Structure 1
Amino acid sequence: MKPETKYRGSIKLSAIGDALGWMTEFEKSAQSLKEKFKIDRIDNFYTWKKNVGGRFYGYVDIIKAGSYSDDTQLLLSVARSIRKDGSLDHDYFAKVELANWLDYARGGGRTVKTAADKIKRKSVRWFNNFYSFKVNGEIYDYRQSGANGAAMRILPIALANLGNVEKIKEEIFCNSIVTHGHPRAILGAMLYGYAVDQIIVFRPEDFNWENYITRIGLDFPKKFELSFVDKAEIKEWIKEWNNSSDKTFEYVYAETIAETQNYLRFVFQSIKQNSPTQETLKKLGCFDPKTKGSGTSTVIAGIYLAAKFHDKPLNAIIEAVNSLGSDTDSIAAFTGGLVGALHGSGIIPNKWKSVQDNEYLDKIAERLLSISEDRFVEDTFVLTSNLKSLNNLSKDNFSLDTEIKFIPLGKGKITFIDRQPTLTKGKYNLILEAYFENGQSIIVSKLFDNSSDTITIDKNNDTETLFQIAEDKLNPKAYEKLKAFIDKQQKITKEQIEIIVTILKNED
């Protein structure tokens, strides 16, 4: 099997797992799944809706079939941050990719969003982004952040540095601490990188799950020793970590090593005894609200599913997607990354090839392969200064096909516009979809004040959104009648447009 097939399979099936799992992430039961999607089990892409931004100032995000979430968005950000020698430009990732990701984040946990916000501080560099935040009166500290927000983005590091385990560990450690401080997040990310590095060298017909898991677990404490702690930035990071903690980082890391090794032993026995899948995931803590997003538990869940269903790889992803009550998108992404690395892109069915930015995912896979083979040539782009910017939106002055720029994605154009009034009178959300020349697409939203309920808007541009929704919602005859009516109006107000759009969106 050609290397590019495995690289494409790993990147693309990671994104596919994310897209499928995002649909089920908030479903608690088969009944809720059936009510929302009219089916008992997800194995295909569907368009769905998600409320964003709270009750009074929020909007409805219409998520197209095949759209991926923050897991893949940040994976792509990491991929763009890798230099030609396989190392990461950590400052670039932190200050450019992560900081600007907040403008187009879809999904994303509180920890990653807080870290992305805090990294904007001028005094903060990638290795000292210590922060805290309060939720319901309880303070959460960076050192407690042990979720999988680091592991979900590091696949490109493993692929770019294939075969160089020590470099994979070091680069993943450094990338992880930009956002997460607990060893569960950091070790989980390094473990995933190592698992990818080990599985990609197998031919599918030669794969033996017992050998694979044994290889991962063999001499586990020694394998995940931090041989790079004398690096100046990491030494400073550990010193700061220990300054405000009862237990040292080294002590907590050793505890996490032992805990993770026990989980690996458990999944080995689980596969050997053919224990029920859901029972195994439950014992890994994947359904417990306190641990379901754990960096170590979810990565091991991905390893477990990829190993158990190695001869039925699509089933591995579908099992993750339908493990309702767990962190379905991240577990499915981990599983997809692993089975893709083993089996390659040839196993992807046609129904999954409509994943968002399909061609760009291939381009990223080729980029990572070229880095690993030491033949990468950096491509540069120069942004035209007079283009409208999507960074830090301050004005609602966009129309369809407007050429725009966005750091770090470059030049693009607006492909969809929606303006949704909020429950709070006098405000509305502007939602823009943009497609970039590099091949990535994003959604950007911003809350604006209505300067006047009777402000006259540009019919030729602003009614395009209305017509797009009407064409989707109405039968052809009704659509033509509405279009003819709008076209006859010399002036139409923002309020009138919003009322018609609201009626159309609630038609069913």
Structure 2
Amino acid sequence: MSENRLKRTTASALWSAYGDVMGFPTELASDRIVQQRIGHPKISRPEPWKRQIGGRFGAMIQLPAGAYSDDTQLRLSTGRAITGQGYFDVEAFAKIELPVWQCYALGAGRGSKAAAGALCNRSSSWFGNFFPNYENGGGNGAAMRVQPHVWAAADLRNKDSYLPDVIRNAVCTHGHMRGVAGAVVHAVSLAYTLDSGKVPGPEHWLELANDIRNIPKLIALDSELSTFWLPVWEQKSERSLSAAVDEVAQEWTRSVAVASDLLATMSQSDCAIIYTQLITLENGLSKEERGSGLKCALFANVAAFLGRLYGSQEIIETVTNLLDSDTDTIATMAGALIGAANPEARFIGTIQDQDYIVTEATRLYDVSQGKPAPTFNYPDTLYWQAPRAAIDMLSRDEKGLTLAGLGRIKPVGDVFYGLQKSNAWCWFKLEFGQSVLVRYRSNAKLNSPTLSSDSGRMDTPDLFQHEQRVSKEPSPNINTRPPQPLAPSPSADNPKPLDAEIEMENHRQFVSEAVPAIVEPALVSSIDLDALTNDAIKGFDPQVIGNHLLMLAEQPNAISLSIAYTSIVIKARSARLRHKKPQQ
């Protein structure tokens, strides 16, 4: 049984990452966007692709085949926060892992990012992270990352041995019971699969409503949650916890009934059709419901159940090619179940950091068996404080580069610049084996004689196969980057043609094998207020103006720049309003 559980644990970890890898390029994308990203309308294996990172002022980044998103990133963060003795260090997770994650997050949801940002405040605790709209956060950002609690559980049949940690993990970022219940449902489903070797079917799904209704009891037994979190939550939610949980349990029961009815007359050839019908009936293609933690837990269970007939690889492809659904999260949660049930199943292609994922899964297995296992060496949260700005997480000392809270780091790829000229992105590798695309200040003094672009390598093939490269010969003005025009970022309604994306990337990207912003920092020209204000006064879009102000706030002379910017915009707005006012 021991060896069998090890295989199931490592397979669960790999298949969950694989689902994330496959669903990342198609997440919330139209068929046109998918065509631009990967060159064809459907994904069947991991492959290199491009994505705009950092919003409208970000950069077009080349992602390697096997690149994973925030789902796997936060799953690895959760795993690191579980000690060699099986204790979940929620303080380290909330005050170190989540704040630092902001500088390398890929594809993250707004709720998780808002929660991580709020946790940078010294006054915010894991059980008191009541940022604006926290109590309405019912997304799947918690459910997608809780698998390590199950992998490390000593007794899979004793739900009380892992569910308290699942709930602690979830409430760090999600305050709506849909988000917490989704994490609980997925954890119990995974524990059942890991223990029995079978994916739970419709006859088990209804029983999960009892686990949802048990959430208040588990919270009451947790002194920090019951004393500090619960009273504030009920005050802000204007309802009792038991009423909120019961409502979610009833929603789960109704959704399970819909899924069960669809599966009742299913044949093997209907698997893909049944899955699509369920997602459609349960509003999994709508903006309001597709990110629900509760719904995604059900969709993952159904997908993994269908995989018994349809095939593991086939069902992952079905999930990740159902556009307008939350492809990567459903696939990553289904993958965790598929791997645990079918450890001998093989997927097509590769996964970034596959060796590290296996090593960490093996460590968590050792924890579950009471074997000696290492503990990640975090700084003391009593004294350590995350930088307030995510862009300042990367620093340098006489020994080299450090990623705040996580340790030494080395560049392993080219540098990418965005339209916001103070920002740069580069692939780095942490000393324990994880690859991260870090956003940092392009004019930061990060040069070190010990570093070069080949000082570390990712274990993923096909990395950084640029379609075009800038010449290695430096231009005469290598230390100065000229001002660049602001352009709207791609959207589902107005995507850029692929050729235009490549052209824009080559225009913005300054490439050299020595990683110039690390080895020889550029002297970036000052902020171009003319370009910013011209963009702002075109339509006085509040979102554009807000993004500009946030960008200016990150500059060394933030106050003077912000005053100048707002003065120009307000003067232009006032003049336009006077011009439009009818003459009396």
Q: TM-score, normalised by structure 1?
A: 0.81
CA change 1:231–1:395 in 2 (3 A) is: closer
CA change 1:65–1:246 in 2 (3 A) is: same
> 8 Å contact 1:78–1:154 — kept in the other structure?
yes
| Structure 1 residue 428, shift from structure 2 partner | 4.2
> 8 Å contact 1:320–1:335 — kept in the other structure?
no
Q: 2:148 aligns with which of 156, 167, 177?
A: 156
| Structure 1 residue 431, shift from structure 2 partner | 1.4
User: Matches of 1:495 and 1:176 in 2, distance apart?
Assistant: 43
Q: 1:189 aligns with which of 183, 208, 211?
A: 183
User: Matches of 1:361 and 1:470 in 2, distance apart?
Assistant: 21
Within 5 Å, which residues of 2 pair with 1:303-314? 303-311=301-309, 312-314=311-313
User: Matches of 2:429 and 2:298 in 1, distance apart?
Assistant: 35
* 1:78 alignment counterpart: 78
User: Matches of 1:273 and 1:318 in 2, distance apart?
Assistant: 23
Give the aligned residue type for 1:9: A
CA change 1:472–1:41 in 2 (3 A) is: closer
Counting aligned pairs with the same residue, the percent is 24
| Structure 1 residue 36, shift from structure 2 partner | 3.8
Give the aligned residue type for 1:359: D
* 1:273 alignment counterpart: 265
* Per-residue deviation, residues 150-207 of structure 1 (Å, max 9, x unmatched): 001101011111333112221111110000000000000000000000112334xxx4
Matching of residue 323 in structure 1 with residue 322 in structure 2: yes
* 1:201 alignment counterpart: 195
Specify the SS of the correspondent of 1:442: strand
* 1:442 alignment counterpart: 436
Matching of residue 230 in structure 1 with residue 221 in structure 2: yes
| Structure 1 residue 416, shift from structure 2 partner | 1.9
Specify the SS of the correspondent of 1:438: coil
| Structure 1 residue 395, shift from structure 2 partner | 11
Specify the SS of the correspondent of 1:405: strand
| Structure 1 residue 498, shift from structure 2 partner | 9.8
| Structure 1 residue 491, shift from structure 2 partner | 7.1
* 1:287 alignment counterpart: 285
* 2:361 alignment counterpart: 365
Specify the SS of the correspondent of 1:366: helix
Unaligned stretches of 5+ in structure 1? 133-140, 384-388, 452-457
CA change 1:263–1:495 in 2 (3 A) is: same
User: Matches of 1:42 and 1:286 in 2, distance apart?
Assistant: 20
User: Matches of 2:317 and 2:169 in 1, distance apart?
Assistant: 29
Give the aligned residue type for 2:337: L
User: Matches of 1:186 and 1:59 in 2, distance apart?
Assistant: 34
User: Matches of 1:412 and 1:222 in 2, distance apart?
Assistant: 41
CA change 1:37–1:249 in 2 (3 A) is: same
User: Matches of 2:302 and 2:393 in 1, distance apart?
Assistant: 49
| Structure 1 residue 314, shift from structure 2 partner | 1.5
| Structure 1 residue 420, shift from structure 2 partner | 2.0
User: Matches of 1:411 and 1:396 in 2, distance apart?
Assistant: 10
Within 5 Å, which residues of 2 pair with 1:212-227? 212-218=201-207, 220-221=209-210, 224-226=213-215, 227=217
CA RMSD of aligned residues (A): 3.5
| Structure 1 residue 347, shift from structure 2 partner | 1.6
Q: 2:295 aligns with which of 289, 297, 321?
A: 297
User: Matches of 1:11 and 1:440 in 2, distance apart?
Assistant: 15
Within 5 Å, which residues of 2 pair with 1:4-19? 4-19=6-21
CA change 1:260–1:35 in 2 (3 A) is: same
* 1:343 alignment counterpart: 342
| Structure 1 residue 131, shift from structure 2 partner | 1.1
Moved more, 357-366 or 103-112: 103-112
| Structure 1 residue 241, shift from structure 2 partner | 0.9
* 2:408 alignment counterpart: 411
Give the aligned residue type for 1:18: D
> 8 Å contact 1:302–1:334 — kept in the other structure?
yes
| Structure 1 residue 5, shift from structure 2 partner | 1.5
| Structure 1 residue 28, shift from structure 2 partner | 2.0
> 8 Å contact 1:271–1:308 — kept in the other structure?
no
Within 5 Å, which residues of 2 pair with 1:7-156? 7-29=9-31, 31-55=32-56, 57-132=57-132, 141-156=133-148
> 8 Å contact 1:25–1:325 — kept in the other structure?
yes
* 2:532 alignment counterpart: none
> 8 Å contact 2:5–2:194 — kept in the other structure?
no
CA change 1:397–1:305 in 2 (3 A) is: closer
User: Matches of 2:376 and 2:314 in 1, distance apart?
Assistant: 40
Q: TM-score, normalised by structure 2?
A: 0.71
CA change 1:447–1:364 in 2 (3 A) is: same
* 1:245 alignment counterpart: 237
CA change 1:105–1:215 in 2 (3 A) is: same
Specify the SS of the correspondent of 1:494: coil
User: Matches of 2:465 and 2:241 in 1, distance apart?
Assistant: 58
Specify the SS of the correspondent of 1:24: coil
CA change 1:150–1:217 in 2 (3 A) is: same
Specify the SS of the correspondent of 1:374: coil
User: Matches of 2:418 and 2:292 in 1, distance apart?
Assistant: 37
> 8 Å contact 2:393–2:403 — kept in the other structure?
no
> 8 Å contact 1:46–1:66 — kept in the other structure?
yes
User: Matches of 1:288 and 1:471 in 2, distance apart?
Assistant: 35
Which 4+ residue blocks in structure 1 deviate beyond 4 angstroms?
379-383, 389-398, 447-451, 469-475, 496-499, 501-504
| Structure 1 residue 53, shift from structure 2 partner | 2.8
Moved more, 175-184 or 18-27: 18-27
| Structure 1 residue 238, shift from structure 2 partner | 1.4
> 8 Å contact 1:419–1:498 — kept in the other structure?
no
* 1:495 alignment counterpart: 481
> 8 Å contact 1:409–1:438 — kept in the other structure?
no
* Per-residue deviation, residues 64-111 of structure 1 (Å, max 9, x unmatched): 111001111000000011133433111111011111111211121111
* 2:569 alignment counterpart: none
> 8 Å contact 2:395–2:402 — kept in the other structure?
no
